[in-house]
Amino acid sequence: MNAGLVAQYAVIGLLVAASLVHTLRKIAPATATRAQAALSAALLRPQRGAFAQRLGRFVQPRSATGDCGDGCGTCTTCSPAPAAADASNAQPVTFHPRRK
């Protein structure tokens, strides 16, 4: 194999890996975050070198800070609750028996 073909395979492999990571983060974000945290913890061990620890800090997932700017959406205090917004437009549903 020549160098051009090896470079082409390397670029294709990187694109496939990036696509896989992006898809995993869209489909299973909790699983992807756990895997990212596990990789970060493995790289941040004290016996690792400086480059591995720097990479571990870079890979470490951002955690929710609890303020309204992080967009976690778990407490519904940043925006009105969806149920409250739907309650103003609620209309009762009535069922009528079939006519013969």
Q: What is the pLDDT of residues 7-48, one digit of tens each?
A: 999 999 999 999 999 999 999 888 988 999 999 999 999 999
Q: What is the pLDDT of residue 74?
A: 58
Q: 21 CB contacts (<8 Å, ≥6 apart)?
A: 32
pLDDT at residue 75 in the model = 62
> For residue 92, how many C-alpha atoms fall within 13 Å in the half-sphere facing its CB?
3
Say what the pLDDT of residue 70 is.
56
Name which of 62, 58, 82 is nearest 72 in CA terms.
Answer: 62
With a cut of 60, say whether residue 65 has pLDDT above it.
Answer: no
